[in-house]
Chain A
Amino acid sequence: MYGTGEPVIQTFGLTKNFKSKLAVENLSLTVYKGDIYAFLGQNGAGKSTTIKMLLGLLYPTQGYAKILNAKVPGELSKVLPKIGVVTESPAFYPYLTGEENLRIYAKLLGIRSEKRVKDTLSKVNLLGVKQKFSEYSQGMRQRLALALALLNDPEVLILDEPTNGLDPQGMYEIKSIIKDLNREGVTIFLSSHILSEVQEMATRVGVIHRGKLIAEGSVNELLTFGDRVTLMASPKELVLNVLKDNSIVKGFTEDGDKFLVYVDKENISKLNRELVNAGVDVFALIPVRSTLEDFFISITGENNHVVDRTLQTL
């Protein structure tokens, strides 16, 4: 599924001050129907604060948000039955089992079917677990939170660090569930600071840094080819002669018989010509696709010189 143009979540100049600390500043983002929107940022960047404002837990100092056209927080109750949520550090009643916890919320949500509760628990591999919530591991807590989020067949899922504390198998399972749900038409808004985990499933990305949204766009827009190539060539001495003191080469590293060369996309063919003219046998010159991590570091790094890329930075 991919965003179809109808906004599902929108924020308009959302700002939150905690006494003297500005946690979120003038944040405006849009999540479209069918998106898997990854909300990225370092710890403390303002992701959870933004999500808490979206869910009516924190009141914005300025600005407002809309979810499924309901203004938050005033009209949030009307649309909550259509939303599933996994909050940061999920909290349930510690003196009850996971199933008892889920049954409480099922009743409150008007879900009468016992089967529904059991099916949801089964989906997250918690069916038959008799432990009280206080005895749950972090991974089990995350999975129970996801079960609660799925209990009411939501149209929108808001997930704050959903794979937090999960082992690789647990992460894989959660990602599979998210992708399946999105295929069924559920719009997903998820925050994470683990970029590799969202790169493969996100359709759109927003990057928050020090409370400000500094980039937003589709993953394809953000992750362009270019500015790095893997070069396989010999002899090494001649290759080094060409790469050193070359105005089009921004830098390079050696990795065995390969070189990772930093060069602008439009200069790749020129570099190839120079190598061949110098007598170098070029076996391969492969553009390296940026990862979300590269992009993230490039725009949030303190000594950032790479913001003028073909990216929609804000």
Chain B
Amino acid sequence: MLSIELYKLFRQKQVYYTFLGSILLVVVLIIVAKSGANLEFQLQTGSTIDLRPLINAYFVMGFTLTIGMPFLLPLFVALNTSNIFTREFTEGTIKTYLVRIGGRKRIFIAKVTVNLVITFLLLLFTGIVSFSLGALFFGTEAKTFISPLLPIPIPFTWEDNFLPAYFYSCICLITIASLSVLWSVTSNSTGETLLKSLSTVILLNVLSNIQRIRPFLFTSYLDIWSKAWSDPIPWAELNRASVILLLYSLGFVILAYLIFAKKDIAC
């Protein structure tokens, strides 16, 4: 059933739009870097540093996350989730699926698994594309990434910084995907799922300004991947945040299953 779900997913052109979207993200980033745009940062000492000579494949790969994680990548993830779940409801195919195959639990587990796989593949693809195009246009000479918050070139390592950054990004996106699963089983259109998912993130982000409730909101941890660029890396904090995000994900999925298991399929 898993392979069938994957086959169905990759036969939908909407899925390729999300992959194309991540290529576009990288391409735009490269165009900006190549265009001679002002990429100078002023340091606290008053002197400026021109970042252009420092741009390389690692920079592009890191900066793609910086640009993509706040909105675009979660949007793509929510779009894929709605294609996996909501589209089956809106087109009525879930009805055919249920009366031929049966077993709502089985179908749900297969779909959630495919959802996790596609989220991982999207991020992996984004990483590979950004590194490859970055290498093509800027080379790979210095393993340097400039944090937007601390624009000082620091030597980063592949194992200590880039892999963890992508790993924790994946956990953040899995939480978004799980939230989208929850909304997708209660929505009547793919657009509705997207709107509900992204609105939830935005609204909870606003609420996270209230310090008392901030630690309890999953949106407070959706930027943990960026801490992989810190020196030293706060591993304990990263792991604690990951556990919270994964618990939220599990909660969203269980709740979605309970709704799906009792849902009347009237289409």
Contacts and interface: CB of A to CB of B under 8 A. Distances in A.
Interface of A: 52, 55-59, 76-77, 80, 83, 85, 87, 89-96, 100, 104-105, 107-109, 145, 148
B113 to A, nearest CB: 15
Contact of A58 (B11, B92, B96, B265): B265
B158 interface: no
B101 A90 contact: no
A57 B8 contact: no
Interface string B94-108: 011011111100000
Contacts, number: 68
B82 to A, nearest CB: 15
Contact of A80 (B4, B12, B102): B102
Closest 9 CB pairs between A and B?
A91-B92, A77-B102, A57-B265, A80-B102, A85-B99, A77-B103, A55-B99, A58-B264, A91-B93
B91 interface: yes
A57 B95 contact: yes
8 contacts: A52-B266, A56-B98, A58-B266, A89-B92, A93-B11, A94-B91, A96-B8, A104-B4
A93 B99 contact: no
Contacts of B265: 52, 57-58
A105 B93 contact: no
B212 interface: no
Interface residues on B, range: 20 to 34
Contacts of A89: 92
B96 A91 contact: yes
Given A77-B102, A108-B100, A93 B264 contact: no
A58 B104 CA distance: 13
Contacts of A145: 96
A87 B95 contact: yes
A153 B42 CA distance: 75
A108 B101 CA distance: 7
A60 to B, nearest CB: 10
Given A77-B102, A80-B101, A87 B266 contact: no
B100 A148 contact: yes
B265 to A, nearest CB: 4
Contacts of A100: 11
A96 B1 CA distance: 17
Contacts of B98: 55-57
Nearest to B8: A93
Contacts of A96: 8, 11
B17 to A, nearest CB: 13
Interface string B207-234: 0000000000000000000000000000
Nearest to A151: B100
B264 A87 contact: no
A93 B101 contact: no
B91 A91 contact: yes
Contacts of B103: 77
